[in-house]
Amino acid sequence: MDNRDAGAGKYVWKFVCPSDEFLDGTPEMYSNFLAFIGYEKYINCGLNVCEPFGNCTRIILYFDGVFYIRAMINKQEILGEVLKGLMRRYQERVPDVSAILEVMRTEGLIQSPADIENDHIAFRSLGVPHLGIASLEKIFLHLGYTRRDPYSFPAKKLNAWWYAPPEPGLPRIFLSELRVQDLPEASQEIIQRYTDAIISDPVDELDLNNAAVIDQFLHSSNWAVPSWEDYHALAAVSEYAAWAIYNRYYLNHFTISVQNLPEGYNTVASFNIFLEKHGFILNDSGSKIKTSPDGLLLQSSTVARMVEAEFAGGRKVFIPGSYVEFAERRVLPAYAHLPTAAIRREHRREGFEAGNADKIFESTFTSQTDRRS
Ligand code: OOG
Ligand code: NI
């Protein structure tokens, strides 16, 4: 297979037509046939290319007696589908998502959920060979994301990177991984019992031009469902490890941008008051508002709700699921003079902050989730 970019956000995927019968006809025959079923013909670089109408993405072309099928794929469309799939399952699993969207709507902050800007989404992973950030990031790099800055969390034994989206309207991505080799021997052994069978990067096996394939991968497992005993033993050492081995690549959180909400709700401080008035419980590790040293990135998050997990052998136990985050990105001093209407994403504080993130991770830790009961 030969993959290459065709520019302008389009992706060309080319392979020799697998069907021998295509090799029998003349170019004219196929041209006429394709025109008959609605394809438009034009000549490009000496190749006869049949450009499909509308949203149809398959192109058949012939050159020098060899036939190719070309799928012209818009990466943005694939990314849109992948994000939709992630959000759908996340919303099903995290009742706070729909509940927050509903109170935002009934109180007139938004007309519909589509009005919300998603600041970022986050995934967790296990840093073992063939998994972790180096594996997971391939999906998002392929779909147009750019790797930006790394973060280190020595006490929690975690690494992270953030990724900028191909377009400003799309969420940033925060990927973290557990430094498995830094855990005590016994915890490493537990994790390896699940992951040792993975001898190559599973993302390398995926057709990354197929949204359904990516969606399926992100919501299925590369390793066996853990036993309660293993989950419990890992949680005693690293609650992140326990979360990741059970929940895998389920979305850890999405993040409501507050700075563009109506006056009175457009700061994390005021939005927190709104959330608490409606009964949502916020992570108070450090403090409810996590503020970067430059004062320009403020974040808060709900405490993850417990979800019923079924462990190997059928034992069912409630464990921390996913949560919702809120972010306020203030205008950079260099753009302080701009009128509000002229402020766009590039005028605001970018990236993340290790000090904030360190506390936000605890949204799924029992020190926080116990506060719900
Ligand atoms: C990620 C915590 C960090 C942020 O925005 O800094 C974070 C996690 O809980 O996996 O989301
Ligand atoms: Ni976050």
What would the pLDDT profile of 319-363 be if each residue is shown by its tens digit? 999 999 999 999 999 999 999 999 999 999 999 999 999 999 999
Residue 140, helix vs strand vs coil? helix
- What is the rounded CA–CA span in Å between residue 221 and residue 177? 16
CATH of 77-372, one of 3.10.180.50, 3.30.310.50, 1.10.150.20, 1.10.10.10: 3.10.180.50
- What is the rounded CA–CA span in Å between residue 338 and residue 76? 31
Answer yes or no: is the C-beta of 352 below 6 A from any ligand 1 atom: yes
Atom of ligand 1 nearest to the CA of 361: 9
Of residues 62 and 104, more confidence is placed in 104
User: Which H/E stretch holds residue 134?
Assistant: helix 133-142
Give me ligand 2 centre to Cα 114, in Å.
20
Which residue has a Cα nearest atom 3 of ligand 1? 357
pLDDT tens-digit series, residues 283-302: 999 999 999 999 999 999 99
Give yes or no for a contact between 162 and 286, defined as CB atoms under 8 angstroms apart.
no
Which residue has a Cα nearest atom 9 of ligand 1? 361
Which residue has a Cα nearest atom 6 of ligand 1? 357
Pocket probe for ligand 1: among 176, 245, 283, the residue whose CB has the most ligand atoms within 8 Å is 176
Q: What is the mean pLDDT of residues 79-104?
A: 96
Whole-number pLDDT of residue 364? 98
Say which range, 48-57, 75-84, 232-241, has the weakest mean pLDDT. Answer: 48-57
Residue extents of the structural domains in the chain = 2-73, 77-372
Of 173, 367, 372, 178, nearest in space to 255 by CA? 173
- What is the rounded CA–CA span in Å between residue 215 and residue 139? 11
Ramachandran class of 314: left when φ > 0, alpha when ψ lies in -120 to 50, beta otherwise = left
Which residue has a Cα nearest atom 8 of ligand 1? 361
Answer yes or no: is the C-beta of 356 below 6 A from any ligand 1 atom: yes
> Cβ contacts of residue 17 below 8 Å, gap of 6+?
23, 60, 66, 67, 68, 69
Residue 96 has pLDDT above 60, yes or no: yes
pLDDT tens-digit series, residues 100-110: 999 999 999 99
Atom of ligand 1 nearest to the CA of 255: 5
- Phi (first) and psi of residue 24, to 5 degrees: -85, -30
Atom of ligand 1 nearest to the CA of 360: 2
Ligand nearest 361 Cα, by number? 1
Q: Quick one: DSSP state of residue 112?
A: S
